[in-house]
Chains A and B, each alone.
Chain A
Amino acid sequence: MNSLERVLAALQNRPADRPAFLLNAGLYGSRLTGASLKDHYTDPAVYAEGQMAIRETFSPDLLVSPFALAGLGAAFGSRMSTPHRQPPNVAAFAAPSAEAALQLPLPDVDSHPQILYLRESIRILAKTYAGQAPVIGLLASPVDLPPLIIGLEAWLDALLFQPDTARALLHRLSPFFVDLGKAMLSDGATALALTANLANRFMVPAPVVEGLGLPSLAQALGEIPGPVILHHGGCPLLAHLADFMGLPNTVGYVVDAGEELAAARALLGPGPLLLGNLGGPTLAGLRPEEVSALCDQALAQRTTDPQFILATSGADIPLDTPPACLQAITDAVCRAGGARS
């Protein structure tokens, strides 16, 4: 089986030769290629070389587009930080409030340089691995776009104190999200993975979740002509998983590091993919044998679950993570495959 066949088998709830696995190693690719982070996060060919190096070195089944959501904010006029040891962040916002953001023009997904960087990265990877490995396009859902454009504080102000303005901004941003999602899929992304933190009860109260967040998310996802994977985005997901079940086109869920996989599957039932639950950002602080033990534990829990994909959760795997820690993940899924045969 190749990686694409393995992931398709998981989607179809069929057995595979071994569990599929995903590394959120967009950043880590620059360590393998030696590229500067500036080049890595501006030149799609350089980024793609990083993912190819990740694939050659550790053999993950799924590859990822740049986890550089700040670029989406930059497309609206936000200023990005210079990346030193991590992907770029938003350093200054395009507008001071939701009301002001309503006046911003929507970026053209076919011409804006920040968007083209993301899209071209997908095109290169999809062409390189056509028929071999899925490529996942990473983006932010409409509810998570405003923090990149006006900041989290201004977005909370709108969601909590100016719901009509918040609703208007979600309506304004939704077409951009849909256009970008469609474009990523047409570029060759096998699926989209996105966060919806501002529709999570960990972040906002029930009236915001139920009145603004989830309806907006459902409407936008309904217009995406392809599979979507919902990522926990740094928030606990398990306790709120029921909110996100049944969203249009949603085929999988990435739970946070350490969240109980069996409990997540019990809630989800058969059908959706379940991804997780290794803490990607904390791998650097572990010894390879500790990583190995965590993998074995997760895989042992899901032995009879063809729809489980071992994945690093959270943000990017840090640059100072020893390669042996990532190799331990590869070795663990291979061992699990060996046990199946």
Chain B
Amino acid sequence: MDRDFSQELLDAIQRADRAGANAVIDAWAAGHSFPRVVPDLLSPTLETFGRLWAHGTQGASLAVGYVAAKIAEDVLSRLLLEAAAGGGPPQPAKGPVLMGNVEDDFHPLGRKMVAAFLRADGWEVHDLGVDISPAQFLDKAEETGARVIGASAMMYSTAKNVARLREEIDRRGMTGRIQLAVGGAVFKLRPELVEAFGGDGTAASAVEASALFERLWQRACTAAGEPRP
């Protein structure tokens, strides 16, 4: 009987079993080309996991999401190693996009998890770190050509700084052409704040960020009157 690798991987993630997840991936890779692991195994499994995690399925702790991000990083590291051995790292297929915690926010975990999932899904991510001012976000966006900024804030007090980032985007005449994705505990608890503070969208979980960034990237291209590259 064929093994259900996706279910096995999902089970390992839900047990927060990083070693077990990597063993499942190894077993899958024994019969497939490793570079296919992302589209054929990891992405669909993470998609299922993301739905379960976002709905707070029993046992889906924050740490389980963290382990899922670590597994995505593990896969990405192996892909980069294999690509380097083959003559050079692969070019990310999507982006560039920015990630950062807004000014006064020093809670990096969620941001790092989102960045890991985005990279695993082929995005070129510039991770700016914590306590990033609106000007820093916009300067980097102009430098890199990023069309989506992912801004993270954990608490209500710092989430207000998303509104300052919104103002800076508008002040520089980038309204629509740079889309603002927001995330963090406070937005999950109070989704109405996404719009109130000027966000263009949010995702129910870190795993679902890639789909959000896809939508926002399309919107930004449309606003700029450009076809998506």
Residue numbers of A with Cβ under 8 A of B are 81, 84-86, 89-91, 151-153, 156, 159-161, 201-206, 208, 234, 281-282, 284-285, 315-316, 318
The answer to whether A84 touches B104 (Cβ under 8 A) is yes
> Does residue B59 face the partner (Cβ distance < 8 Å to A)?
yes
Find chain B residues with CB under 8 A from A203 CB: 61-63
Which residues of chain B from 146 to 163 have any CB-CB distance to chain A below 8 Å in the complex?
155-158
With both beta carbons as reference points, the residue of chain B lying nearest to A205 in the complex is identified as: B16
Find chain A residues with CB under 8 A from B112 CB: 153
6 pairs of residues in contact across A and B, judged by CB atoms under 8 Å: A81-B106, A91-B130, A151-B108, A202-B62, A205-B59, A285-B156
> Does residue B190 face the partner (Cβ distance < 8 Å to A)?
yes
- How far in angstroms is the closest Cβ of chain B from A241? 16
- How far in angstroms is the closest Cβ of chain A from B76? 17
CA distance A84 to B156 in the complex (A): 14
B106: contacting residue among A90, A201, A234, CB under 8 A:
A90
CA distance A282 to B158 in the complex (A): 12
The answer to whether B61 touches A204 (Cβ under 8 A) is yes
The 7 nearest A-B residue pairs measured at CB: A89-B106, A281-B156, A204-B63, A86-B157, A205-B16, A152-B109, A203-B62
Which residues of chain B from 89 to 120 have any CB-CB distance to chain A below 8 Å in the complex?
104, 106-109, 112
Which residues of chain B from 38 to 92 have any CB-CB distance to chain A below 8 Å in the complex?
59, 61-64, 66-67
- How far in angstroms is the closest Cβ of chain B from A269? 24
- How far in angstroms is the closest Cβ of chain B from A133? 27
Find chain A residues with CB under 8 A from B15 CB: 205
> Does residue B168 face the partner (Cβ distance < 8 Å to A)?
no
A85: contacting residue among B16, B62, B104, B185, CB under 8 A:
B104
Given contacts A85-B104, A160-B18, contact A208 B63 (CB under 8 A): yes
> Does residue B131 face the partner (Cβ distance < 8 Å to A)?
yes
- How far in angstroms is the closest Cβ of chain B from A83? 9
Given contacts A81-B106, A90-B106, contact A281 B157 (CB under 8 A): yes
CA distance A200 to B54 in the complex (A): 18
With both beta carbons as reference points, the residue of chain A lying nearest to B161 in the complex is identified as: A85
The answer to whether A160 touches B106 (Cβ under 8 A) is no
Residue numbers of B with Cβ under 8 A of A are 15-16, 18, 59, 61-64, 66-67, 104, 106-109, 112, 130-131, 155-158, 185-186, 190
The answer to whether B59 touches A206 (Cβ under 8 A) is yes
Find chain B residues with CB under 8 A from A316 CB: 157
- How far in angstroms is the closest Cβ of chain A from B103? 8
A315: contacting residue among B104, B130, B157, B190, CB under 8 A:
B157
The answer to whether A153 touches B158 (Cβ under 8 A) is no
The answer to whether A201 touches B61 (Cβ under 8 A) is yes
Q: Which of B64, B106, B158, B185 has the most CB of A within 10 A?
A: B106
Given contacts A89-B106, A318-B157, contact A81 B63 (CB under 8 A): no
CA distance A315 to B186 in the complex (A): 12
Name 14 extra pairs, CB < 8 A, besides A85-B157, A86-B155: A86-B104, A86-B157, A86-B158, A91-B130, A91-B131, A160-B16, A160-B18, A160-B66, A201-B59, A201-B61, A204-B63, A205-B63, A208-B63, A316-B157
CA distance A318 to B157 in the complex (A): 7
Find chain A residues with CB under 8 A from B190 CB: 282
B131: contacting residue among A81, A153, A161, A281, CB under 8 A:
A81
Find chain B residues with CB under 8 A from A81 CB: 104, 106, 131
- How far in angstroms is the closest Cβ of chain A from B132? 13
Given contacts A84-B104, A205-B15, contact A160 B157 (CB under 8 A): no
With both beta carbons as reference points, the residue of chain A lying nearest to B196 in the complex is identified as: A285
The answer to whether A160 touches B131 (Cβ under 8 A) is no
The answer to whether A281 touches B155 (Cβ under 8 A) is yes
CA distance A90 to B109 in the complex (A): 14
With both beta carbons as reference points, the residue of chain B lying nearest to A315 in the complex is identified as: B155
Find chain A residues with CB under 8 A from B155 CB: 86, 281, 315
Find chain A residues with CB under 8 A from B157 CB: 85-86, 281, 315-316, 318
CA distance A281 to B62 in the complex (A): 22
Find chain B residues with CB under 8 A from A318 CB: 156-157
CA distance A205 to B186 in the complex (A): 22
